[in-house]
Amino acid sequence: MKNFFDVKNVTFSSSSDHKLIDVTFNIKNPGDIISILGPSGVGKTTILRTIAGLEKIYKGEIWLNNSLISSKDFFIEPEKRGIALSFQDNSLFPHLNVYQNLIIGEKRKSKIKRKIKLEECIELFQLESLLKKFPHEISAGEAQRASLVRSLLSNPSLLLLDEPFSNVDIGLKEKLQVNLKNLLKENKISTIIVTHNYEEAFYFGGKCCLFSKNKLIQFDNPYNIYHFPASQDVANFFNKGAFLNAKVISDNELEHNILGVIKGKFVRKFKKGDIVKLLVQPEDLIHSDKSNLKFKIIDKRFLGTNFIYFLKVSAKEILPVLVHSHHIHQHTINEYFGVKTPIIIKHLVCF
């Protein structure tokens, strides 16, 4: 079965010195949401601009709804693609007030019949008090919300969101994220959302594209990206776990010179005797006060629900361990901290 949206072997470039090479990803069904994740400056916005038709491509093909929309020698004008892009920075028309800005795209002819109501959007994104104001009278976060609603109301067959909440206050952000996701799902609006925040990406995206340097390093669902990273780059992006050098000693065992034997199921196959780098996530190790395997705490971080303790295993190896914040007692820095043995990690992610 054909995908609703396809990017096939495309090289994205905004300028000659920066390119994303040979990128392939897709949206399987209409109404699906995918997210694009990557560090700042990797070219995420360029991808959206290219899909929208604001940039051309010289390699690869982009398909939407069984029609080619971009290739080396074929190009559909942006105004004819039916793709809406909500820009990260203020793109409201300065001579129109917020209300006029919202409804300006409404009249677009579209094959898709949806019933997104203006009033509903105004309420969901809390724009009631802004309607009569002009773009220069509102804040950047407010402009972003207005721009988002304008894109939604234009009834696109594909919606592109570029960091839609980057300027919105944290308190409001989560509420708006929920409202947006519900609206997108209810109205089956296929969406690509660009963000550098993986939590936002994981929340919205049924699938995520993760970019690093100049290529797509993994395209998968959020669970797999987090738990089965395709490369060390992917794991590094989240910057949560740590890598330990260990030796493969059997089909389901590794040996570390200090931690001893670590049991689990290998995600990839290795030969006996191979030296690998094992990814240890904060939730992989279990704390036990009774354990004899103790390490010095060199730092700790309070995350609300949890604490993460950073343990010095050796001069170069520091391991994070997650502990529920309601754990019977807290540990302080420089204390020794027990790790439950034998160590069992469900998925052994090694490189």
**Burial track 180-212 (b if 16+ CB lie within 10 A, e otherwise):** beebbeeeebbbbbbbbebebbbbbbebbbbbb
Interacting span for another protein (CB under 8 A) from 25-33, 144-152, 169-177, 231-239: 144-152
89 binds another protein, rule: CB under 8 A: yes
The two tokens of residue 97 are 């007030």
Interacting span for another protein (CB under 8 A) from 66-74, 237-245, 252-260, 275-283: 66-74
Interacting span for another protein (CB under 8 A) from 80-88, 201-209, 249-257, 331-339: 80-88
109 binds another protein, rule: CB under 8 A: yes
For another protein, the closer of residues 112 and 275 by Cβ is 112
For another protein, the closer of residues 127 and 262 by Cβ is 127
Interacting span for another protein (CB under 8 A) from 31-39, 137-145, 220-228, 281-289: 137-145
Q: Smallest distance from the beta carbon of 139 to another protein, in angstroms? A: 6
2 binds another protein, rule: CB under 8 A: yes
Residue 272 class from Cβ within 10 Å (0-12 exposed, 13-18 middle, 19+ buried)?
A: exposed
For another protein, the closer of residues 56 and 265 by Cβ is 56
Q: CA nearest 350: which of 263, 270, 261?
A: 270
For another protein, the closer of residues 76 and 344 by Cβ is 76
For another protein, the closer of residues 151 and 190 by Cβ is 151
For another protein, the closer of residues 82 and 282 by Cβ is 82
135 binds another protein, rule: CB under 8 A: yes
53 binds another protein, rule: CB under 8 A: yes
CA distances from 255 to 195, 245, 316, 343 (A): 38, 9, 17, 10
Task: Give residues 173-192 in contact with another protein (rule: CB under 8 A).
Answer: none
195 binds another protein, rule: CB under 8 A: no
Q: Tell me how crowded residue 105 is: count the other CB atoms within 10 A of its CB.
A: 15
118 binds another protein, rule: CB under 8 A: no
Which residues make beta-bridge pairs with 296? 312, 336
The two tokens of residue 110 are 């579209």
Residue of 18, 24, 29, 54 that binds another protein (CB under 8 A) = 54
Q: Smallest distance from the beta carbon of 116 to another protein, in angstroms? A: 14
The number of C-alpha atoms within 13 Å of 334 and in the hemisphere containing its C-beta is 0
Q: Smallest distance from the beta carbon of 85 to another protein, in angstroms? A: 5
- Phi first, then psi: give them for residue 264, nearest 5 degrees: 165, -175
Residue 115 class from Cβ within 10 Å (0-12 exposed, 13-18 middle, 19+ buried)?
A: exposed
104 binds another protein, rule: CB under 8 A: yes
Gap between the Cα atoms of 247 and 325, Å rounded:
33
H-assigned helices in 107-245: 118-124, 140-153, 170-186, 198-204, 222-227, 232-238
- Phi first, then psi: give them for residue 243, nearest 5 degrees: -105, 135
Residue of 32, 37, 43, 49 that binds another protein (CB under 8 A) = 49
Q: Which residues bind another protein (CB under 8 A)?
A: 2, 49, 52-54, 63, 66-68, 74-85, 87, 89-95, 104-105, 108-109, 135-140, 143, 147, 150-151, 154
